[in-house]
Structure 1
C-alpha cells in the first residue's frame, strides 16, 4: 500500500498500489502503440545497462521493465503479486517481497552486487521508506553499488499514486540513513531544468555500500 502523505510527508490515507488494476495500468502504459513504434524505452534500457550494477536485486520491479536490462542472475521484487505474475510471464525472475525474504538462498546476506530502486521511493511515505528499503541493503555485498531513480516534477505529477516528491536531497538523505556512500548525482536523460516540462526526466543517485 502506498499512502497520501500529510504535511510532513508521513503516511495518512492509504492508497492501494498492490491490486490487479495497478499492474494492468503499468502493462497498458508500457504497451502503448506509439511507445512501441518509437521504442522510447531504448535510452532508458541502455542507461540501466551502463550502470553496471552486476547481479542486482531490483526493488519495486513492477512488471519487469528494468529487470529485462539487468545482468543475468538479477532478481526482481515487488509488493504487488499481480505485477510479479506479469514479470514472470515475460520469463523474468521476479518474486513478492514475502517470497523473497522467506527464501534463505534468495535473500542470503551480501549475495548481490547491486541494488536498483527505480521509481520506488516516490511511492513511499517518509515514515515507511527505511522499513521498506533497509532490508535489501543487507543482501548487498560490501562495495556493491546502489542506484536510486525517481521522477522529476512533471513525472511526479503524472501519477496519482506518487506520495512524496523525492529529489536529490531526499535521495541523498536516504542513502545516508541506509549507510550508503553517495558517489554521483545526475539528471537523465536531459538537464535538470527539463524535469518541469518533460514527464520522463529522472533524478539519479548512485551510491556504494562501504567495504567491510
Structure 2
C-alpha cells in the first residue's frame, strides 16, 4: 500500500546528507547491478527521446547524465552527489554554485530532466524548482519527468509524495508546459505494484 499523505518534511531534510549519498552508492554497487546490464533499457529510453543538450535537475550520482554521452549538465542540492559526478568526469554543480556556473545561460538547453526528484519533495518545492530552472530551457525545448510507481515508491523512506501521471501532468501544466506523452516504462502500468523499477514518464514541451 502506498501512503499518499505522509507528514510534510522540509526540502533536503532526507536527501542532502552524507548518509543518503552513501546509501545510494551502496545500492549502485550491488553485485548484480555491476554484472548485469540493468541500465540498458533505461539508457535506451533516455536516448530515444532525442532531448539534445540537457539540464539534469536533481542529478544524484549521475546515472542519467551518463546516458547523455557528455551532452548534459547536472545540478543537485547534495554536494556529495556533485563531488561523485565530477569524480567520474561528469559536469555537475550544487544548487548554490549553479547561478555562477558558465552553463547557467537562459534558453541554452534543449531539454530538462527531473528523474526521481518530484517524489522526494513537497509540491510547492517542485513548483519553485521548475520556476528556477525552466528559464534555462529554450522555447520549444522539452521537459521529461520520471517518478516511481507503487512498488518503487514504497522502497525508499525518503519518498514523501506519490506522484503519478495525473500529478505530473498537473505540475507541467501549472508552468505552461504542453504535455506531449505519458507512458509507463519499462513495463506496462500494471507492473508498477510488483516491480520496483517501473516508472511513470511524462514528456512535455515548453511553448
TM tier, shorter chain? over 0.9
Structure 1 residues 168, 42: CA separation in 2 closer, same or farther (over 3 Å shift)? same
Residues 1-212 of structure 1: pairs in structure 2 closer than 5 A: 7=5, 11-12=8-9, 15-103=13-101, 105-210=102-207
Do the aligned residues in 2 keep the contact of 1:18 with 1:79 (CA within 8 Å)? yes
- RMSD of the TM alignment (CA)? 1.7
How many angstroms apart in 2 are the aligned matches of 1:140 and 1:51?
16
- Any stretches of 5+ residues in structure 2 without a counterpart? none
Q: How far apart are the structure 2 equivalents of 1:55 and 1:203? A: 22
How far does residue 10 in structure 1 lie from its aligned partner after superposition? 7.5
Deviation at 1:133, TM superposition (A): 2.3
Greater alpha carbon shift after TM alignment, 164-173 vs 122-131: 122-131
TM-score relative to the length of structure 1: 0.91
- Indicate conservation of the 8 Å contact 2:70/2:90, yes or no: no
User: d(CA) in 1 for partners of 2:201 and 2:14?
Assistant: 26
Change (3 A) 1:179 1:10: farther
The answer (yes or no) to whether the contact 1:77–1:96 under 8 Å persists in 2 is yes
| Structure 1 segments unaligned to the other structure (5+ residues) | none
| Other structure's SS at 1:186 match | strand
| Farther off after superposition, 93-102 or 183-192 | 93-102
- Contact 1:11–1:126 under 8 Å retained in 2: no
C-alpha change, 1:136 and 1:13, in structure 2 (3 Å) is closer
Q: Name whichever of 119-128 and 145-154 sits farther off.
A: 119-128
* Mapped partners of 2:132, 2:69: distance in 1: 21
Give secondary structure in 1 for the equivalent of 2:59.
Answer: coil
Deviation at 1:33, TM superposition (A): 0.5
Residue-pair matches, total: 204
User: After the TM superposition, which of the residue ranges 55-64 and 42-51 deviates more from structure 2?
Assistant: 42-51
Structure 1 position 84, deviation (Å) = 0.6
1 CA distance for matches of 2:88 and 2:53?
19
Q: TM-score, normalised by structure 2?
A: 0.93
